[in-house]
Structure 1
Amino acid sequence: MTLISLVRHGQTDWNLERRIQGATDIPLNDTGRADARAAAEALAAGRHDAVYTSPLIRAQETAQIIAARLSLPEPAITRGLREREFGVAEGIGVSDYLARYGDWQSEVPGAETLDEVRDRALDSLERIARAARRRSAPAAESIVVVTHGGVIRALLMHVSGGTLPREGEPIRNGSVHRFVAERSTLRFLEPIVG
């Protein structure tokens, strides 16, 4: 069994402006660094063995802040944890996106579907959990994974049969959601920081 704490990266200027980031590599702002420190403090109450991160700079910086606070090695970069690619919608405001495309499930030229995001994220988490089991068998290992709102949303939808997150419920910057991976399945436990 592997405990996985999924952390959404801290705030960026584009989050503040409510612009679609997707694969665009936007750094944290000062509030985002504070979000990362707050997530690290919440995680410090437990034991963690490793930190993994999306390759995007906003996730990497969040992961580095968390790893330093938890006295863990440099985070391992995992490409499958990157944010959903939004194609032609990257950089536009959320309200413009919703007016143009209707909802987050809509097809957007050049964008990934939530199913594609879910599949690559599940594949990455399974590889992380397999590696953790090899290192720590039979004891459980606890992993911190810094990723993005779209990835966490896709995984929550998957494990809850579409009931989570609730309609209109945001995945906040710096939030922490705890899952357990065992026998090739992923199960949601609880939000630690919402």
Structure 2
Amino acid sequence: MSDDPRGRILLVRHGETEWSRTGRHTGRTDVELTDAGRAAARALPDALELVRHPVPPARVLCSPRTRARDTAALAGLTVDEIDERLAEWDYGDAEGRTTPQIRETLPGWTIWDGPWPGGETPQDVCARADAVLADARALLAGGDVVLVGHGHFSRVLTARWIGLPATGGVHVAMDPAGVTVLGFERGVPRLDHVNQRPAPGVRR
């Protein structure tokens, strides 16, 4: 008989914004959803229905950014708490810039490899992710825990769940309005679903 908890952790990335569509790094900046992002957020219940347990979640936590809060609302999720720790990676000087623009002065740059002038390092983001996961895991006896947030930070959460360093998030996809499910197999953390997306054209 499995000793796994009743719930799992569901990571939900916000829908598309103009900055995410054009590849601009969006951390602190409060950018609104595009029309396509709103449509995808409204379709999220269909993606969630495929992966979540058929009972209300024990807890729904959300990033403070408008794009995340609007995604939660459009998806029909009742947010229990705004959690500052679910904010996106702080990109520092890279904020608002695309990777090609950054590479004009820092050849070969990626968020995973750095450097990170003015922003968070992988170690900073790792500490934040570990704290979020520890708190979420403590709630799983009551059911699923939903974390509504961002792309890079959700990828770090996924990597840390399976014991990879924060930079291991490079191996995980998390598209706008994507859903990833962190579960267990006999007490061992595993990935149940990665980057589950709403069906194209589905609206509620």
* Shorter-normalised TM range: 0.7 to 0.9
Q: Which residue of 2 aligns with 1:23?
A: 28
| Cα pair 1:60 1:75 within 8 Å, conserved | no
**Equivalent position to 1:172, from 170, 175, 179:** 175
Per-residue CA deviations over 1:27-62 (Å, capped at 9, x if unaligned) read: 111111122122222113442413211111111111
Q: Quick one: which of 130, 134, 155 aligns to 2:157?
A: 155
Alignment partner of 1:116 is 2:124: yes
Aligned equivalents of 2:123, 2:40: Cα separation in 1: 28
CA offsets, 1:4-33, max 9 Å, x none?
110111000111121111111111111111
Alignment-derived partner of residue 143 in structure 1: 145
Following TM superposition, by how much is the alpha carbon of 1:115 offset from its aligned partner in structure 2, in angstroms?
Answer: 2.7
User: What residue number does 2:67 align with?
Assistant: 58
Change in Cα spacing, 1:147 to 1:98, as seen in structure 2 (3 Å) is farther
**For structure 1, which segment, 52-61 or 91-100, has the greater mean C-alpha deviation from structure 2 after superposition?**
91-100
1:80 aligns with 2:85: yes
Give the match's secondary structure for 1:118. Answer: helix
| Residues 130/108 of structure 1: CA separation in 2 closer, same or farther (3 Å cut) | same
1:132: how far off? 4.4
Taking a change above 3 Å as real, the CA distance of residues 94 and 170 of structure 1, as seen in their structure-2 partners, is farther
State the superposition RMSD in angstroms.
2.6
1:126 to 109, 134, 137: 134
CA distance in 1, matches of 2:194, 2:114: 27
The runs of 5 or more residues in structure 2 that have no matched partner are 198-204
Is the contact between residue 55 and residue 78 of structure 1 (CA under 8 Å) also seen in structure 2? yes
TM-score (norm 2): 0.77
Q: Distance in 2 between matches of 1:15 and 1:176?
A: 17
Q: Which residue of 2 aligns with 1:103?
A: 110
Matched, 1:189 2:187: no
CA distance in 2, matches of 1:132, 1:156: 16
Unaligned runs of 5+ in 1: none
Change (3 A) 1:185 1:130: farther
Distance, in Å, in 1 between the alignment partners of 2:26 and 2:118 is 14
3-state SS of the aligned residue for 1:6? strand
Compare 21-30 and 46-55 and name the one that shifted more.
46-55
SS for the counterpart of 1:40 is: helix
Alignment TM-score, normalising by the size of structure 1: 0.81
Does the 8 A contact of 1:64 with 1:75 survive in 2?
Answer: no
Cα 1:115–1:94 change in 2 (3 A) is same
For 2:101, the aligned partner's letter is: D
CA distance in 2, matches of 1:187, 1:99: 38
